[in-house]
Amino acid sequence: MVRGRLSVVGWILLLSSPTAGLASVADLPRTQDGINIDGLLDDLAWQDAVQIDLDKETRPGENIAARVTTVAYLVEDGEYLYVAFDARDPDPTAIRAYLRDRDSAWNDDFVGIVLDSYGDERRAFEFFANPLGVQMDLTNDDINQNEDASWDAIWDSAGRINGSGYIVEMQIPLNQIRFPEVDGKQTWGIDLLRFYPREHRYRFSNNAQDRNVNCYLCQLEKLQGLAGVEPGRDIEIVPTLTASQSSTTEDPVLEPLRSGGSDVDAGVSIRWGVTQDTTVNLAINPDFSQVEADVAQLDVNNQFALFFPEKRPFFLEGADYFSTPMRAVFTRTVADPSVGLKATGKRGNHTYGFFAAEDEITNLIFPGAFGSDSESLAQRNTAVVGRYSLGFGQSSSVGALVTGRKGDGYHNYVGGLDARWKISDQHNVRMQLLRSSTEYPEDVASEFEQPLGSFDGSAAQFNYNYNSRDWFGFLRYSDRGADFRADSGFIPQVNVQQKVAGLGRTWHGEEDDWYTQIRLNGDWDIAHDDDGRMLEREVDVDLSVSGPMQSHFRISVSTRDRLFDDVLYHENDVSLFGEFQPRGGLKLGMRVSVGDQVDFDNSRLGDELRLRPFVIWNINRHLLARYQANFLTLDTKDGASIFDAAVHDVRLTWQFSVRSFLRLTTQFQDIKRNPDVYIDTVDARSRDVGRQLLYSYKLNPQTVFFVGYSDALVDDDQLDRLTTTDRTWFMKIGYAWTP
């Protein structure tokens, strides 16, 4: 890449020229000069760039003058979009910037660009970087008001802190962005952003934000340019090699740890932009195991299955295309696929998605009104999901969803329609209707008390939302029949009809107020089963305050009647939550709840105390410590202990650079039960420990190298100490080849 340096005259012209404020439409210029992405604004091409001031503070201030100066530079060369930010700071020593893995620097200073590349105010791509060049990228689904950080593009960035602030440069390949084929110039919505965390977390932009308008992308100004640009060949081939060696035991009381030998697998993933509108992903013998450990959750006194988010890249890309009001698609149900195929796209007002996988394991959840069971079958199934949405009007749409899983003696098919109607800037309605057909293997159906043979069920959901600057409210209705199953999704409760109504008020602080926002809201809900029995009735009131040191405090008071085991219990509880950042790089928080709680194992009412502290501490620029825990005690009304449980999740990360880190994760669960007050026989104490040491190097999201070690230990009444049940060494190499 050719690199040029500005002459003295060029620098004078660049620094003295007036910054161009963005009108309703700004022109994106093209340059013939090269740009070296190094965090320095010294390349000749930046003289060709349009300059845009980020002169508005939109949070916590409401469209007031930005308190620091930020200038963005934009230019393109037919292959890349180049973006730079000159972020001035009156005290550069106060800049918060740490070396981190991608998509994890949200508490730092950072800048970025949001691109509504179709100009339809529905979906956007977001690119951010902190002052050291750490990348964060997302998709923004404005219809569902959801930002998804799981999307990872391949782009370049660099940042440098200097004596007057910091500079960030970005080079974004146009083939990483979907945009329509048009004659002449493209017209994109654009938002240029700077986040400035000090006493408060300030947000600066080139766009004003009307808080009475319940959409984001509809308020962006436009950028025009890229005439005649085509994205070119969009093919990405990623061969992978994984190797592991495991030693396991299923019964540590009777069997010692046994080596399972070594396992080496090769696979390949292909991403092909068939057209500018459609992308196809194919994975053959993929490594769909996730490298990062899930966040530890306390599995005690729970009625329903715990939810763990998806982390595997193949399923994360384009996940928002499959989003519907009900969680009818949850890709972690695909456990061990031998092959996967996915296609996603958008053409005009039409959005579509499809994926299919051959899975070696069939994971099942058996939902009910009062709890759920689960089972994992060592048998293959074919999983298919199809999604289509037609947009109309301003951010309105109608859509269809079909899912299917079929195996030996087993099937689950789901199909239905959904819609979103944006009535006005403040009012919108969402709804969905689904129908399912299910059949389990006869032995499985008998064991888990499921219907024999094929059976059908239905589900419906209706949501109304009102949002304005000062008021918000909602109405919800859902009906999930007893025989409804969504085995490709995550719906652990059925045989329930629920109605919810809520209303809230927001007060916004002014410049001299000690608070930035106060919210008071409450909701009422009631649920019945298909026979009309009341399952739950609850009233909840919340008061929250945001203030100095980026603090947020909330108090919640609730009262509910809950039916369990044919007894209606009355519960009252109070919860407190608080978090703040006493200084840069340190975030502390705690959630405390106390009140009545049903003991589901023994069908009685008890007294519960729950503490959930967390700490995020950037010890220095390279070292990050994260700790979160969940302490839970439940006593009888007579004061006898039922159980005392705790789970800890500790992670220490040394970040060598923006590309590589070493992380140690330790998770520990300890449950002490009082067998004298249990109906069934239980262990007086059980302990579980999981540890992982991981080294990661990422040239980009697909060109990666991982090597690590993990083990698991357990202890209960049959053991006299923590005993290892699993020990694994693993390695993965992936290389992104773009022919």
Least confident of 281-285, 488-492, 662-666: 281-285
Q: Residue 379: helix, strand or coil by DSSP?
A: coil
Convert 570-611 into a string of H (helix), E (strand) and C (coil).
EEEEEEEEEEEEEECCEEEEEEEEEEEEEECCCCEEEEEEEE
Average pLDDT, the chain: 91
Region 231-257: mean pLDDT is: 84
529 and 496 in contact (C-beta within 8 Å)?
yes
Q: How sure is the predictor about 134, in pLDDT bands with cuts at 50, 70 and 90?
A: very high
- Residue closest to 463 by CA, chosen among 477, 450, 449: 477
Q: How sure is the predictor about 8, in pLDDT bands with cuts at 50, 70 and 90?
A: very low
Region 325-354: mean pLDDT is: 91
- Residue closest to 74 by CA, chosen among 99, 97, 47: 47
Residue 285 is predicted with a pLDDT of: 82
Distance between CA atoms of residues 474 and 466, nearest Å: 6
Residue 581 has pLDDT above 90, yes or no: yes
Instruction: DSSP letter for 331, please.
Output: G
Indicate the burial class of 322 (C-beta count within 10 angstroms; 0-12, 13-18, 19 or more).
buried
Region 450-461: mean pLDDT is: 97
Q: How sure is the predictor about 226, in pLDDT bands with cuts at 50, 70 and 90?
A: very high
Residue 469 — φ and ψ, nearest 5°?
-60, -40
Q: Which amino acid is at 513?
A: D
Region 337-364: mean pLDDT is: 92
Q: Which helix (H) or strand (E) holds 14?
A: helix 8-16
Least confident of 109-123, 313-327, 466-480: 313-327
Region 636-656: mean pLDDT is: 97
Residues pairing with 156 in the sheet:
171
- Residue closest to 716 by CA, chosen among 658, 672, 659, 657: 672
Region 388-403: mean pLDDT is: 93
Distance between CA atoms of residues 480 and 432, nearest Å: 11
Instruction: DSSP letter for 43, please.
Output: S
Which of residues 4 and 122 earns the better pLDDT score? Answer: 122
Q: What is the side-by-side strand order in the sheet with 156-162?
A: 50-53, 70-76, 80-88, 165-173, 156-162
Q: How sure is the predictor about 672, in pLDDT bands with cuts at 50, 70 and 90?
A: very high
Residue 291 is predicted with a pLDDT of: 63
Residue matched to tokens 């947000």 = 203
Output the six-digit token pair for 705. 């190298």
DSSP assignment string, 164-225: TEEEEEEEEEGGGS-----SS-EEEEEEEEEEEESSSEEEEESS---TTS--SGGG-EEEEE
> Dihedral, CA atoms, 589, 106, 204, 37, nearest 10 degrees?
160
Q: How sure is the predictor about 2, in pLDDT bands with cuts at 50, 70 and 90?
A: very low
Residue 7 has pLDDT above 50, yes or no: no
Please, which residues have CB within 8 angstroms of residue 670's CB and are 6 or more apart in sequence? Answer: 645, 646, 647, 685, 686, 687
359 and 383 in contact (C-beta within 8 Å)?
yes
Domain with CATH 2.60.40.1190 in the chain: 8-225
Residue-wise pLDDT tens digits, 591-612: 999 999 999 999 999 999 999 9
Residue-wise pLDDT tens digits, 372-384: 999 999 999 999 9
- Residue closest to 151 by CA, chosen among 179, 133, 126, 172: 126
Residue matched to tokens 């700071």 = 89
Distance between CA atoms of residues 366 and 649, nearest Å: 29
Least confident of 114-123, 180-189, 303-312, 442-451: 303-312
Distance between CA atoms of residues 119 and 683, nearest Å: 60
Residue 60 has pLDDT above 90, yes or no: yes
Which of residues 266 and 309 earns the better pLDDT score? Answer: 266
Q: How sure is the predictor about 305, in pLDDT bands with cuts at 50, 70 and 90?
A: confident
- The answer, yes or no, to whether the previous bond of 92 is cis (omega within 30 of 0) is no
Region 431-437: mean pLDDT is: 98
Q: How sure is the predictor about 1, in pLDDT bands with cuts at 50, 70 and 90?
A: very low
Region 66-72: mean pLDDT is: 97
Residues pairing with 629 in the sheet:
648
Region 478-482: mean pLDDT is: 97
Output the six-digit token pair for 694. 């991981």
75 and 64 in contact (C-beta within 8 Å)?
no
Instruction: DSSP letter for 368, please.
Output: B
Residue 189 has pLDDT above 90, yes or no: yes
Residue 15 has pLDDT above 70, yes or no: no
Residue 24 is predicted with a pLDDT of: 60
Distance between CA atoms of residues 25 and 466, nearest Å: 31
- Percentage with pLDDT > 90 across the chain: 77
Residue 180 has pLDDT above 60, yes or no: yes
Q: Which helix (H) or strand (E) holds 316?
A: helix 313-316
Residue-wise pLDDT tens digits, 685-724: 999 999 999 999 999 988 999 999 999 999 998 888 999 9
Distance between CA atoms of residues 520 and 504, nearest Å: 6
Residue 394 is predicted with a pLDDT of: 79
Region 241-250: mean pLDDT is: 90
Which of residues 1 and 306 earns the better pLDDT score? Answer: 306
DSSP assignment string, 406-466: EETTEEEEEEEEEEEEE-SSSEEEEEEEEEEEEE--HHHHHHTTPPSS-EEEEEEEEEEEE
Class of domain 8-225 (CATH, top level)? mainly beta
15 and 135 in contact (C-beta within 8 Å)?
no
